[in-house]
């Protein structure tokens, strides 16, 4: 059992600052997922927590104690990497027992009990006598996780553990990791991934990192519905949220939003929100857009440049006069639309997001269309 707290943590490699001013409070037993673009510092942050990298400035507490100067082993942490790094000449059983046997004071029976318990949790009991090469990729990754479980860590760190697996195995192993968290509710888990679905489904809270800084921390749905800024808005969700430069005009209780190249709409002005006049951004998710006929009010219209039929949904790319930057609409099922057609798209007021010129979200409860 352990919470993990980072206060003002910086990490630099020589002169290169990789993490800056990281403040995070991860609760005991929480499942936290780090996401962010390649090179933003996710792995470095995990390695700092594990003690594989020292901290340039700030403090790291685990279970209420400052651990900046403790070795990885003293921190009660286990880490699972993208490459499973099993010993090829050892059986699954011996791979899982190896670390335990090195610890003085673990008797043979105690080791056996821990290995079998981990194998049971991960459903790899039938493979204990096999060599790693006799297993599938997913089974191997489960052995690597099992090896970490046997150490009975207070904090479990995962760095993209599923990225070497094919799509079907990823799904299966992801479900197993969710189950693992349920079976080990006292173990704090910190997980790095590039995969939106893994982040959304596994996380109690997601931490969005960008260039070594925390952009936003929140539950998956908070980040999806209420991103703090344009970066988070476009990072969470796939395809990404459409962002349209827009002009805001306020008058009394109404806010007129006119997207560039679009038709504009009038929203009732949320109370307590000061919207500055002039330029800003309007955000609308592809799944919030729908086709409307000529008689209905549209938000934007343009020519279809590409249609992607994915079976369950159709992605429609619409040219609204921005070079190589089409608006994307995600329509349910197989939409009967062809390239070259002109379409009109609308969205409900409560599904729109507004951002000021600097990209900061205008915080508010869902917007309403003005009466
Ligand atoms: N040992 C090191 N020495 C110098 N620079 C490093 C070192 N390790 C990482 N970096 C740099 O720190 C930055 C963050 O790297 P990190 O591996 O944490 O990114 P990441 O978010 O995990 O990326 P990815 O998603 O590609 O795995 C990168 O610019 C990287 O080049
Ligand atoms: Mg990484």
The first and second tokens of residue 128, run together, are 């204990």
CA distance 236 to 230: 10
What is each CA distance from 176 to 121, 128, 131, 138, 371, in whole angstroms? 9, 18, 22, 10, 49
| Domain ranges within the chain, ordered by starting residue | 4-233, 239-369
Residue-wise pLDDT tens digits, 66-103 = 999 999 889 989 998 877 789 999 999 999 998 888 77
Is the pLDDT score of 200 beyond 70?
yes
Residue-wise pLDDT tens digits, 306-327 = 999 999 999 999 998 877 789 9
Note whether 213 and 201 are within 8 A (CB). no
CA distance 96 to 114: 9
pLDDT for the residue 364: 64
Question: For ligand 1, is residue 44 a contact (CB within 6 Å)?
Answer: yes
Domain 4-233 has CATH 3.50.50.60: no
Is the pLDDT score of 166 beyond 90?
no
- Burial status of residue 252 (CB atoms within 10 A of its CB: 0-12, 13-18, 19 or more): exposed
Is the pLDDT score of 211 beyond 80?
yes
Q: Which of the ligands is closest to the CA of residue 44?
A: 1
Question: For ligand 1, is residue 212 a contact (CB within 6 Å)?
Answer: no
Q: Mean pLDDT across the chain, nearest whole number?
A: 90
Note whether 44 and 69 are within 8 A (CB). no
H/E stretch holding 10 reads strand 4-13
Domain 239-369 has CATH 2.40.50.140: yes
How far away, in angstroms, is 47 Cα from ligand 2 center? 10
CA distance 363 to 273: 7
For ligand 1, atom 26, name the residue with the nearest CA. Answer: 38
Note whether 45 and 208 are within 8 A (CB). no
* CA of 36, closest atom in ligand 1: 21
pLDDT for the residue 270: 65
Question: For ligand 1, is residue 147 a contact (CB within 6 Å)?
Answer: no
How sure is the predictor about 59, in pLDDT bands with cuts at 50, 70 and 90?
A: very high
């Amino acid at each position: 059992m352990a919470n993990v707290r980072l206060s003002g943590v910086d990490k630099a490699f020589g002169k290169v600052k990789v993490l800056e001013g990281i403040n995070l409070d991860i609760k005991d037993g929480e499942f936290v997922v780090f996401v962010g673009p390649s090179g933003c510092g996710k792995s470095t942050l995990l390695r700092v927590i594990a003690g594989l990298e020292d901290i340039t400035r700030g403090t790291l507490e685990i279970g209420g104690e400052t651990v900046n100067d403790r070795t990885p082993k003293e921190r009660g942490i286990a880490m699972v990497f993208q490459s499973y790094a099993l010993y090829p000449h050892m059986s699954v059983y011996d791979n899982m027992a190896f670390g335990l046997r090195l610890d003085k004071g673990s008797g043979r029976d105690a080791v056996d009990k821990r290995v079998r318990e981990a194998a049971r949790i991960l459903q790899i009991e039938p493979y204990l006598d096999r060599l790693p090469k006799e297993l599938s990729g997913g089974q191997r990754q489960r052995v690597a996780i099992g090896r970490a479980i046997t150490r009975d860590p207070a904090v479990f760190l995962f760095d993209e553990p599923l990225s070497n697996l094919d799509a079907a195995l990823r799904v299966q192993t992801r479900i197993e990791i969710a189950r693992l968290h349920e079976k080990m509710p006292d173990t704090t888990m910190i997980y790095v991934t590039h995969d939106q679905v893994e982040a959304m489904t596994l996380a109690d809270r997601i931490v969005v990192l960008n260039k070594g800084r925390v952009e936003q921390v929140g539950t998956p749905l908070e980040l999806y519905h209420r991103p703090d800024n344009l970066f988070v808005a476009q990072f969470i969700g796939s395809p990404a949220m459409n962002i349209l430069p827009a002009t805001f005009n306020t008058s009394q209780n109404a806010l007129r939003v006119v997207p560039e190249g679009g038709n504009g709409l009038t929203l009732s002005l949320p109370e307590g929100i000061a919207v500055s006049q002039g330029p800003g951004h309007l955000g609308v998710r592809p799944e919030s857009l729908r086709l409307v006929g000529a008689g209905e009010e549209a938000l934007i219209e343009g020519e279809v440049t590409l249609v992607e039929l994915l079976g369950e949904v159709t992605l429609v790319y619409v040219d609204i006069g921005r070079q190589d930057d089409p608006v994307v609409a995600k329509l349910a099922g197989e939409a009967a639309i062809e390239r070259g057609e002109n379409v009109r798209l609308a969205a409900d007021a409560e599904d729109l997001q507004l951002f000021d010129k600097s990209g900061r979200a205008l915080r508010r409860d869902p917007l309403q269309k003005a009466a």
